[in-house]
């Protein structure tokens, strides 16, 4: 995906786009409450595959998410998947909490051979079969596709169609993570294959663009992204999940290039209620604090069908947990 790992992959595209600073965050009032007892509003959380293997996975409250995406589980150059230790146990734990688990394939630095694997009917069919077998092996609830940039080529649509044909009879979900910067590369037919779409509404700028310092995930970006996919592209709002970052980017002297939200508020006391911190040396760390995450969740409750988090283990604990802020807003909307 996603977040800080896509710097090199998206540099050329972002270079053509002007980086706008975030504007004020107007209060959003939810006109329609979520029906009592409804679980239709999604809270999708991403988790790194290596955290599954090293046993660090369950350091968040499973009851506060509805879908868990494991990023990234990719095949080898022949289209075969290797064993991921700990995944079966994690799936069982998640299912015990009524959380659906998906394997997320691709990523901002996806293996270059994906282009070859989906290039013709034969290799694509083998990959699709391997992916379907992966969902059976670990009792997964579906597949999340995060192919970006040049990977969304003339063969992408056929890949999605073929994958849907195999997963749907198994009652498996097919979802995707997309960035609006690549919007014109996704055909309407390809988008129609997905059960829901996670919008990566972040990484507007970052360390790969040092001459463009500023907020990488401003509130107005969330508004514009939702307006584009629901309005311009005509996708039902219920199929859209608004991406929320649990990390920040630093520009200038005295700040790190990237930090988790947990590290930001530990390093800069009082930062939890802000969106940026400027240090004595002159550098600034930009991120989404508690107030902005709450505002974006309220926006999503009105204009989308869920939110998506990159990524869960970057969150702080206790009263400063961004996931808890999201959970509180969703529960309040159900009352």
Query: Phi and psi at residue 96, in whole multiples of 5°?
Result: -65, -20
Q: pTM value? A: 0.89
Query: pLDDT for 143-180, tens place per residue?
Result: 999 999 999 999 999 999 999 999 999 999 999 999 99
Q: Tell me, what's the pLDDT at 335?
A: 84
* DSSP 3-state of 237: helix
Structure token pair of residue 247? 């990390």
What is the reported pLDDT for 60?
85
Is 240:308 a contact under the CB 8 Å cutoff? no
Question: What stretches in the chain show pLDDT beneath 70?
Answer: 1-39, 56-57
Task: Supply angle C-alpha 11, 16, 145, rounded to 5.
Answer: 50
The per-residue DSSP string of 79-133 comes to: SPPPP-TTHHHHHHHHHHTT-EEEEEEE-TT--TTHHHHTSSHHHHHHHHHHHHH
On the CB side of 16, how many CA atoms lie within 13 Å of its CA?
Answer: 5
Q: 27: how many CB neighbours lie within 10 A of its CB?
A: 6
Joined together, the tokens standing for residue 281 give 């040396």
Segment (H or E) for 195: none
Residue with token string 């592209």:
233
- Domain annotation for the chain: domains and CATH numbers: 3-17+28-251+290-334 (3.20.20.80)
Class of residue 211 by CB neighbours under 10 A (exposed 0-12, middle 13-18, buried 19+): exposed
Q: Residue with structure tokens 């980086």?
A: 19
How high is the pLDDT of residue 54?
Answer: 85
* Burial call 164-202: b when 16+ CB within 10 Å, e when fewer: bebbeeeebbbbbbbbbbbeebbeeebbebbebbbbbbb
Query: CB pairs under 8 A, 24+ apart, for 252-255?
Result: 252/213, 252/281, 252/282, 252/283, 252/284, 253/279, 253/281, 253/282, 253/283, 254/279, 254/280, 254/281, 254/282, 254/283, 255/279, 255/281, 255/283, 255/284, 255/285
Buried b (16+ CB within 10 A) or exposed e, 137-160: ebebbbbbbbbbbebbeebbbbbb
**pLDDT tens digits for range 229-248:** 999 999 999 999 999 999 99
Q: What are the respective helix, strand and coil percentages of the chain, to the nearest 5?
A: 40, 20, 40
């Amino acid at each position: 995906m996603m977040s800080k790992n896509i710097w090199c992959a998206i540099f050329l595209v972002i270079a053509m786009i002007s980086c706008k600073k975030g504007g004020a965050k107007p209060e959003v009032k939810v006109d329609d409450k979520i029906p009592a007892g409804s679980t239709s509003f999604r809270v999708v959380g991403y988790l790194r595959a290596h955290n599954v293997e090293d046993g660090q996975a369950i350091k968040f409250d499973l009851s506060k998410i509805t879908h868990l995406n494991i990023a990234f589980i990719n095949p080898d150059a022949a289209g075969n998947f290797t064993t991921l230790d700990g995944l079966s146990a994690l799936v069982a734990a998640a299912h015990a909490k009524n959380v659906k688990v998906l394997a997320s394939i691709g990523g901002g630095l996806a293996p270059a051979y994906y282009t070859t694997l989906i290039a013709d009917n034969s290799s694509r069919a083998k990959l699709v079969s391997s992916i379907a077998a992966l969902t059976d092996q670990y009792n997964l609830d579906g597949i999340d596709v995060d192919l970006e940039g040049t990977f969304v080529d003339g063969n992408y649509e056929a890949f999605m169609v073929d994958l849907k044909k195999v997963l749907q009879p198994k009652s498996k979900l097919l979802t995707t993570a997309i960035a609006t910067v690549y919007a014109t590369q996704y055909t309407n037919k390809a988008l129609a294959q997905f059960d829901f779409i996670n919008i990566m509404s972040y990484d507007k700028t970052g360390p790969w663009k040092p001459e463009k310092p500023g907020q990488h995930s401003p509130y107005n970006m969330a508004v514009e992204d939702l307006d584009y996919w629901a309005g311009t592209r005509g996708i039902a709002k219920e199929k859209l999940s608004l991406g929320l970052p649990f990390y920040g980017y630093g520009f200038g002297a005295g700040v790190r290039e990237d930090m988790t939200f947990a590290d930001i508020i530990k390093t800069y006391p009082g930062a939890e209620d802000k969106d940026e911190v400027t240090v004595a040396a002159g550098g600034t760390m930009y991120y989404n604090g508690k107030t902005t995450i709450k505002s974006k969740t309220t926006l999503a409750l009105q204009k989308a069908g869920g939110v998506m988090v990159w990524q869960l283990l970057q969150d702080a604990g206790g009263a400063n947990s961004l996931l808890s802020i999201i959970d509180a807003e969703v529960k309040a909307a159900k009352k």
